[in-house]
Amino acid sequence: MAETVAHSISEEEAARYRAEFPIFDHTTYLNSCSLGPLSRRSSEALHEYASAWSDFGAPAWWARWMPKIDEAKERFARLIGAGVHEVTIAHSISSALSSVASAFEYSTRRRVVCADLDFPTIPYQWMAKEREGVEVAFARSGDGIRVPLAAYKQLVDRNTSLVATSHVFYTTGAIQPIRAIADLTHSHGARLIVDGYHSVGVFPVNVKALDVDVFVGGVLKWLLGGPGLTFIYVREGLLEELQPAVTGWFAADDQFAFDASHLVRARDADRFQLGTPAMPTVYTGITGMDMILEVDPERIGERLRLLTTRIIDSAERDGFTVLSPDDPMERGGIVMLESANPRQMVKALAARHFTVDYRPGRVRISPHFYNTTDDVDGLMETLTKLRDD
């Protein structure tokens, strides 16, 4: 049977999804890298959460909320090609990585390798352990856009415990060659931890094909779920081996036994859980992930390559310096443009009803599948006029 090829997201389809987000009633939103907008579906999910709280009180936990947590884990597992038992929830990437970092032993392998373009949360987990003898080493970028594999090769050796880095750099949108980094890491007996916050929901992800050991991600941004819910994937073969020292009562094999005298860890990835989860975001996270699955990450990736290429072509034509990869296959949903005063530029764009963001020296544009070409064309026209005025 011939393989079915998903059709591209048309302008009409993008516009239909765009209409599901009320924020477009007053601004053109191109800031998914900071916070995914609230959809009408997620607003309804929040009402469903509130109704369960109002109708049941405490029994909402077992009547409604615990099953919802399982639903959220199932959706994320499906998005990354994992088994549900390999996935658990956390409150943020910081709390997720704190639990993960505590599960490894550093007495004989002291080095943890990160990238200088990583979000600070990643290296901070291990920099905080430097007093325990942990050494954080940085694979450094030569061009400020990507980190070459050779930079990792210089650092990863038999003294390396972990490589902990990003799937997509928040600083530039560059997609890292994670499978090649995994092969390098494993060849030296080390483990690979990947922050996939800017890859899941942007293009297809398969943690098995990537051969990662631990993968974290969340619904705040591209998965359209809001703050308070992230996920931890731990490869099945590592679950028994890893015993996190940062823990909570949800990590117990039988949390409702309330046995304070004995810690028996959950047999699955739930051993990395901490405390009471943020239930409103569990509800909105499910609706957001359902929308991503409905549209299809393969099609989303294609759409974002089209939109980001359109932004870059316009930027280069109008004389902006682009600080993101030229090759669309090496780029996620982020485009960075050099700016002398990015904060003021973002403020001026907001006054003209365009929402983007900035980082030091850069304006950051991050469309999603629901954005139209008119959205990006209007932004770039306005950006050029502001620069030239």
- pLDDT tens, position by position, 263-314: 889 899 999 999 899 999 999 999 999 999 999 999 999 999 999 999 999 9
Q: What is the number of structural domains in the chain?
A: 2
Please tell me whether residues 254 and 345 are part of one structural domain: no
Name the residue among 14, 4, 5, 11 with its Cα closest to residue 295: 14
- Domain of residue 327, residue span: 11-30+296-388
What's the pLDDT band for 251 if we cut at 50, 70, 90? confident
What is the C-alpha to C-alpha distance for residues 118 and 136, in angstroms, rounded to an integer? 13
pLDDT number for residue 6: 66
- CATH code for the domain of 341: 3.90.1150.10
Please tell me whether residues 267 and 327 are part of one structural domain: no
Please tell me whether residues 61 and 168 are part of one structural domain: yes
Question: Is residue 382 one of the residues assigned to a domain?
Answer: yes
pTM: 0.95
Phi-psi group of 81: left, alpha or beta (phi > 0 → left; psi -120 to 50 → alpha; rest → beta): left
Strand partners, 234: 214
Please tell me whether residues 287 and 331 are part of one structural domain: no
What's the pLDDT band for 2 if we cut at 50, 70, 90? very low
What is the C-alpha to C-alpha distance for residues 331 and 199, in angstroms, rounded to an integer? 10
pLDDT number for residue 353: 97
Please tell me whether residues 85 and 146 are part of one structural domain: yes
Dump pLDDT digits (tens) for 223-247: 999 999 999 999 999 999 999 999 8
- Is it the case that residue 149 has pLDDT exceeding 90? yes
What's the pLDDT band for 388 if we cut at 50, 70, 90? confident
Kindly provide the b/e burial profile for residues 2-24, where b requires at least 16 CB atoms within 10 angstroms of the residue's own CB.
Answer: eeeeeeebeeebbeebbebbeeb
Please tell me whether residues 322 and 340 are part of one structural domain: yes
Please tell me whether residues 69 and 202 are part of one structural domain: yes
> Residue range 38-61: average pLDDT?
97
Neighbours of 242 (CB within 10 A): 21
Residue where a domain terminates, one of 262, 292, 322: 292
pLDDT number for residue 379: 98
